[in-house]
């Protein structure tokens, strides 16, 4: 992580030298020198990061370097901002309150601070070199890691339970005949039992009877191509070992390739870590004119997709409760032993933390085999997280991450356990923190930070480190951390001081989630996640004041109030807002017991880039919000019951990329809320025709997502032809929700000119649906509620070839619906609810070919489902999936 901190500092300083050069006059040379010093020591950190686990003094140096890197960023950014504020105070007068505190800006002050940082780095460099720390290449790092893995964990993944279905599925795939190679990939995080599963398939009786030759090679992180090829060949042609041993590398490739064409072979490449590893072996495996099969295991789905994009991908699932218990008993009792009720109870509780991960269960079983169960239960966290082998294996996935992904992963530990988090939240936070780098991507094709951030999250998901859910369009919708992976995340984040997670208790203590109490070094805490457990308002205020005094270097502050314990006025947060001058991210969500307005002091957070009040109770925002000119992500979607007074200052936030307005709000000057200057805006949620000027949307040339606030009255559809006039060439999706007593065919036809992808929810009677060519041609989601249509809507809706989601609730009063051949070509989700008279539903062959989820509820007269259409359980589940759209 120190490597990450220093690398980000180098990137930041380099960017500031380019983008803010006009404000660095007098110290530009010093900043360049500091950048050079950081670049020189960055290479040494690769070695130091490896050693610090075993060498405490190296750990101290690494921590010191991490803080120096962050201090360097803070010093330069603070200087730039103060100089900019002073030089431009006549133009940007909203900085006046801040400039008053910084009137005596002198170049030599920051120059002296930089010289001190450079001197400290130089001294550390000398000490580290004297300690034998050197720059090492990536291959050497991987060799050391691989050796450690093989030395410490050779017995893991031997026990096997609960994977019979996986074996059957993989064997069936392996036995499929054909003359084209289709790679079968078993992928997932370390500890899932991938190798063991591959062995079970490899040794399956039916597989052994079908194939002629069998080869196996472990690739791992450090590999030698020639050794791998020899190892496979001696298994495929055991009668020619001497010949194989004399072959040069070119002969090995040619022989292995030819044998797989002549014989029907199964070859397993176990534990592939990189694309480069496959590239070095690719020439040995035919993909055409072969009946041989290749089975691989990898921790990274991206590697599997790289090897064969059309391959078969299988991710083993975690064990069931019964499977976990069976595996635990095998490990804990090599010989049969009586299990008491108390042991069963303790075992079940401990297994709950393992989450079905085979490797975790194996380690737990080993602990129970040599200790009293009560002792293990009492000290489980100590055994499991600090000294347990499983944490070292899981940590290997972390150590293998590229340096830019490490802080992104550790940042996830800020969120509570077992929560499904909207993906956009973490993506926006990463961007606000500066974790997302665009330099390595093709900027000519308009790659934006949000797309790169999503790529980062997908990379973590493919490595099995994060579990993600997807929207119907294939975008990442939510993410969560497995309990064990979160334990690793929190442990490493605390070790590297990236994030501190605190529980504010009812008593006088503030406890770290992974230690005992706040330590003296909290003044260097950069990111803080607070879980509020206080019900006493006075105690809370005292604790917040303490935090405000000690967390002077904070960049991120998150509040989690799961019990609704935070009560009182917003002003109690003044100590934090007045002291945290470096804050970039502030999350004040779901504070449901607050009253009054957000305090004026929020305007002191002049570097703030991310602010979310989602789900909180707030009555008004201060004029000082206009000071927040660095703001990029602003979520004002407070509780719907609140009517928020919004100052007409959002136009000053010219860097704003995402704006989520309240459902109900008024503008304090009784004018339209000006949004015309927000040319960087990508997302605009809850746009209000009443309180905003529609013409402002036309000036937001980079807009990608637009959601119109729920409207009442069919006349509100008139906004559609207004939007058509604008050049919104980047618009990816738009949403409209209109309620009215009734809609006429003509009123709905007004939408035929809308050419952008959109989602539409109509609540109210519809006398007759327009023909499909009079509806939006790129309609992706449609919700019809209380429509009371007399004619079957399916012949018209089936011709909307972009439709992915359709919900009909009390929308059709007829008895028969017919879906003809070739209709609903892209439909994936269909919900039929409260169609009281529906008796027959016919679906022709070739209709709805992509349907994957079907919900039917309160269609009491429906006699039977169409042939070939599977009924998925649980209308409520699908309704929940549609909820974000319906709102």
Q: What is the pLDDT of residue 362?
A: 76
> Could you tell me if 463 and 342 lie in one domain?
no
Would residue 600 count as lying in a domain?
no
Exposure string of 276-308, with b = 16+ CB inside 10 Å and e = fewer, is ebbeebeebbbeeebbbbbbbbbbbbebbbebb
- Residue 282 is part of a domain; what is its CATH number? 3.40.50.300
Identify the domain containing residue 406 by its residue range.
401-489
Would residue 679 count as lying in a domain?
no
pLDDT class of 375 with cuts at 50, 70, 90: confident
> Could you tell me if 436 and 457 lie in one domain?
yes
Top pLDDT among 147 and 348 is at 348
Q: Which two tokens stand for residue 585?
A: 């991210």
Would residue 151 count as lying in a domain?
no
Average pLDDT across the chain, whole number: 79
Residue 283 in this model has a pLDDT that exceeds 90: yes
Distance CA 653, CA 367 (A): 56
Q: Last residue of some domain: 464, 489, 514?
A: 489
Residue 146 in this model has a pLDDT that exceeds 70: no
Q: Which two tokens stand for residue 831?
A: 């919900």
Q: Which two tokens stand for residue 84?
A: 């900019």
Q: What is the pLDDT of residue 152?
A: 34
- Residue 432 is part of a domain; what is its CATH number? 1.10.10.10
The DSSP-derived string for 362-383 is: HHHHHHHHHS-HHHHHHTHHII
> Could you tell me if 77 and 123 lie in one domain?
yes
Top pLDDT among 766 and 357 is at 766
Top pLDDT among 817 and 445 is at 817
> Could you tell me if 307 and 331 lie in one domain?
no
Average pLDDT on 865-883 reads 49
Top pLDDT among 822 and 53 is at 822
Q: What is the pLDDT of residue 539?
A: 55
Q: What is the pLDDT of residue 660?
A: 96
Q: How far is CA 877 from the centre of its chain?
A: 22
Q: What is the pLDDT of residue 626?
A: 92
pLDDT class of 696 with cuts at 50, 70, 90: very high
Would residue 833 count as lying in a domain?
yes
> Could you tell me if 255 and 294 lie in one domain?
yes
Contacts of 381 (CB under 8 A, 6+ apart): none
The DSSP-derived string for 809-843 is: ES-B-SSEEEE-TT-STT--EEEEE--TT--EEEE
Residue 120 in this model has a pLDDT that exceeds 50: yes
Would residue 529 count as lying in a domain?
no
> Could you tell me if 855 and 743 lie in one domain?
yes
Helix ranges (DSSP H) in 88-137: 96-99, 107-130
The DSSP-derived string for 858-885 is: S-TT---PPTTPPPPS-HHHHHHHHHHH
Would residue 24 count as lying in a domain?
yes
Top pLDDT among 107 and 412 is at 412
Q: What is the pLDDT of residue 155?
A: 34
> Could you tell me if 186 and 292 lie in one domain?
yes
Neighbours of 123 (CB within 10 A): 10
Rg value, the chain, Cα: 31
Instruction: Report the run of H or E that residue 485 belongs to, with start and end.
Output: helix 483-495
* CB contact at 8 A, 838 and 863: no
- Residue 785 is part of a domain; what is its CATH number? 3.80.10
Residue 184 in this model has a pLDDT that exceeds 90: yes
Q: What share of the chain is helix, strand, coil (3-state, %, to 5)?
A: 45, 15, 35
Residue 422 in this model has a pLDDT that exceeds 70: yes
Of these ranges, 36-45, 493-502, 820-829, 855-864, the one predicted with the greatest mean pLDDT is: 820-829
Tens-place pLDDT, residues 513-566 = 444 333 444 446 788 888 765 555 555 556 656 665 566 778 899 988 755 666
* CB contact at 8 A, 863 and 839: yes
Query: Is the Cα torsion angle 284, 290, 295, 298 positive or negative in sign?
Result: positive
Tens-place pLDDT, residues 63-102 = 777 777 777 777 776 666 666 555 544 434 444 444 434 4
Average pLDDT on 216-233 reads 86
Would residue 582 count as lying in a domain?
no
Q: What is the pLDDT of residue 326?
A: 87
Q: What is the pLDDT of residue 1?
A: 56
* Lowest mean per-residue pLDDT among 33-47, 116-130, 166-180, 538-552: 538-552
Quote the percentage of the chain above a pLDDT of 90: 32
pLDDT class of 22 with cuts at 50, 70, 90: low
* Lowest mean per-residue pLDDT among 140-144, 542-546, 599-603, 785-789: 140-144
Tens-place pLDDT, residues 773-801 = 999 989 999 999 999 999 999 999 999 99
Residue 591 in this model has a pLDDT that exceeds 70: yes
Q: What is the pLDDT of residue 481?
A: 84
> Could you tell me if 111 and 93 lie in one domain?
yes
Residue 878 in this model has a pLDDT that exceeds 70: no
Residue 135 in this model has a pLDDT that exceeds 90: no
> Could you tell me if 451 and 355 lie in one domain?
no
Of these ranges, 411-425, 490-504, 688-702, the one predicted with the greatest mean pLDDT is: 688-702
* CB contact at 8 A, 196 and 356: no
Top pLDDT among 276 and 336 is at 276
What are phi and psi for residue 398, nearest 5 degrees?
Answer: -70, -45
Q: What is the pLDDT of residue 32?
A: 73
* Lowest mean per-residue pLDDT among 538-542, 634-638, 864-868: 538-542
Q: Last residue of some domain: 314, 334, 357?
A: 314
> Could you tell me if 266 and 326 lie in one domain?
no
What is the 3-state secondary structure of 712-763?
A: ECHHHHHHHHHHHCCCCCCCCEEEEEEEEEEECHHHHHHHHHCCCCEEEEEE
Instruction: Tell me the sheet residues that pair with 842.
Output: 818
Residue 118 in this model has a pLDDT that exceeds 80: no
> Could you tell me if 369 and 418 lie in one domain?
no
Q: Last residue of some domain: 395, 430, 452?
A: 395
pTM of the model as a whole: 0.72
Residue 882's nearest CA partner among 812, 792, 798, 809 is 809
Q: What is the pLDDT of residue 76?
A: 72
Of these ranges, 141-145, 173-177, 206-210, 792-796, the one predicted with the greatest mean pLDDT is: 792-796
pLDDT class of 863 with cuts at 50, 70, 90: confident
> Could you tell me if 434 and 341 lie in one domain?
no
Of these ranges, 185-194, 797-806, 846-855, the one predicted with the greatest mean pLDDT is: 797-806
Q: What is the pLDDT of residue 143?
A: 36
Q: What is the pLDDT of residue 839?
A: 94
Inter-axis angle of helices 249-262 and 225-236, nearest 10: 40
Q: What is the pLDDT of residue 43?
A: 63
Would residue 642 count as lying in a domain?
no
Count the domains in the chain. Answer: 5
* CB contact at 8 A, 45 and 73: no
Average pLDDT on 642-667 reads 93
């Amino acid at each position: 992580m120190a490597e990450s901190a220093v690398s980000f500092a180098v990137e930041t300083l380099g960017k500031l030298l380019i983008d803010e050069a006009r404000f660095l006059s007098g110290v530009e040379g010093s900043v360049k020198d500091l950048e050079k010093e950081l670049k020189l020591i960055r290479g040494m950190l690769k070695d130091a990061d490896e050693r610090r686990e075993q060498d405490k003094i190296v750990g101290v140096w690494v921590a010191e370097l991490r803080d120096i890197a962050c201090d360097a960023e803070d010093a330069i950014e603070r200087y730039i901002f103060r100089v900019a504020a002073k030089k431009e105070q006549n133009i940007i007068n909203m900085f006046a309150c801040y400039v008053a505190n910084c009137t005596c800006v002198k170049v030599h002050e920051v120059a002296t601070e930089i010289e001190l940082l450079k001197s400290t780095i130089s001294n550390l460099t000398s000490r580290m070199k004297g300690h034998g720390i050197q720059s090492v290449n990536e291959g050497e790092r991987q060799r050391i890691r691989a050796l450690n893995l093989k030395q410490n964990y050779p017995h893991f993944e031997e026990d096997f339970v609960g994977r019979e279905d996986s074996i059957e599925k993989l064997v069936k795939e392996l036995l499929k005949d054909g003359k084209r190679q289709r790679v079968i990939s078993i992928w997932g995080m370390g500890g899932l039992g991938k190798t063991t599963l591959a062995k079970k398939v490899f040794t399956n009786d039916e597989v052994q009877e079908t194939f002629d030759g069998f080869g196996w090679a472990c690739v791992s992180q450090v590999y030698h191509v020639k050794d791998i090829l020899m190892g496979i060949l001696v298994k495929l042609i055991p009668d020619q070992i001497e010949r194989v041993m004399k072959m040069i590398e070119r002969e090995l490739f040619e022989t292995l390739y030819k044998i797989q064409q002549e014989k029907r072979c199964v070859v397993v490449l176990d534990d592939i870590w990189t694309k480069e590893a496959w590239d070095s072996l690719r020439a040995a495996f035919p993909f055409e004119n072969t009946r041989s099969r290749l089975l691989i295991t990898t921790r990274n789905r991206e590697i599997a997709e790289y090897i064969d994009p059309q391959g078969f991908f299988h991710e083993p699932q975690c064990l069931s409760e019964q499977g976990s218990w069976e595996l635990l008993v095998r490990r804990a009792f090599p010989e049969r032993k009586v299990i008491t009720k108390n042991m069963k109870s303790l075992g079940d509780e401990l297994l709950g933390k393992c989450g079905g991960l085979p490797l975790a269960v194996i380690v737990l079983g080993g602990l129970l085999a040599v200790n009293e169960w009560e002792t293990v239960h009492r000290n489980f966290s100590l055994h499991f997280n600090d000294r347990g082998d499983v944490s070292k294996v899981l940590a290997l996935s972390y150590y293998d991450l590229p340096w830019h992904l490490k802080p992104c992963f550790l940042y996830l530990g800020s969120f509570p356990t077992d929560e499904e988090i909207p993906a956009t939240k973490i993506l926006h936070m990463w961007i606000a923190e500066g974790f997302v780098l665009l330099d390595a991507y093709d900027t000519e094709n308009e790659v934006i930070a949000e797309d790169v951030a999503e790529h980062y999250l997908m990379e973590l998901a493919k490595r099995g480190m994060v579990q993600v859910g997807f929207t119907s369009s294939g975008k990442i919708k939510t993410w969560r951390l497995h309990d064990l992976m979160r334990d690793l995340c929190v442990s490493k984040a605390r070790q590297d001081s990236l994030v501190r997670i605190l529980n504010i208790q009812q008593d006088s203590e503030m406890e770290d989630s992974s230690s005992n109490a706040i330590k003296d070094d909290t003044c260097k805490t950069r990111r803080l996640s607070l879980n509020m457990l206080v019900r006493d308002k006075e105690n809370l205020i005292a604790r917040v004041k303490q935090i405000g005094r000690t967390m002077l270097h904070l960049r991120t502050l998150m509040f989690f109030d799961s019990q609704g314990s935070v009560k009182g006025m917003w002003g109690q947060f003044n100590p934090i807002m007045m002291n945290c001058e470096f804050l970039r991210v502030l999350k004040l969500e779901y504070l449901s017991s607050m009253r009054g307005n957000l305090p004026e002091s929020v305007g002191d957070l002049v570097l703030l880039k991310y602010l979310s009040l989602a789900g909180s109770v707030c009555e008004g925002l201060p004029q000082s919000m206009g000071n927040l000119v660095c703001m990029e992500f602003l979520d004002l979607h407070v509780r719907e019951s609140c009517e928020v007074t919004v100052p007409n200052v959002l136009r000053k936030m010219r860097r704003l990329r995402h704006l989520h307005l309240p459902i109900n709000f008024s503008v304090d000057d009784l004018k339209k809320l000006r949004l015309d200057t927000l040319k960087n805006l990508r997302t605009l949620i809850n746009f209000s025709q009443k309180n905003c000027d529609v013409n402002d949307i036309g000036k937001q040339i980079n807009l990608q997502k637009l959601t119109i606030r729920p409207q009442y009255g069919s006349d509100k559809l008139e906004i559609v032809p207004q939007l058509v006039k604008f050049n919104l060439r980047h618009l990816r999706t738009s949403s409209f929700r209109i309620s009215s007593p009734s809609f006429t065919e003509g009123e709905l036809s007004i939408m035929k000119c809308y050419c952008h992808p959109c989602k539409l929810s109509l609540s109210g009677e519809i006398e007759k649906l327009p023909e499909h060519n009079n509806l939006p041609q790129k309609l992706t989601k449609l919700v019809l509620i209380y429509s009371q249509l007399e004619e079957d809507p399916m012949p018209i809706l089936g011709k909307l070839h972009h439709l992915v989601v359709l919900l009909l609730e009390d929308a059709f009063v007829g008895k028969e619906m017919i879906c003809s051949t070739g209709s609903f070509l892209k439909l994936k989700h269909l919900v039929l609810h409260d169609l009281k008279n529906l008796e027959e539903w016919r679906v022709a062959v070739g209709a709805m070919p992509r349907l994957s989820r079907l919900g039917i509820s309160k269609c009491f007269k429906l006699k039977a489902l169409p042939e070939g259409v599977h009924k998925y359980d649980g209308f409520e589940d699908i309704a929940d999936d549609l909820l974000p759209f319906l709102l």
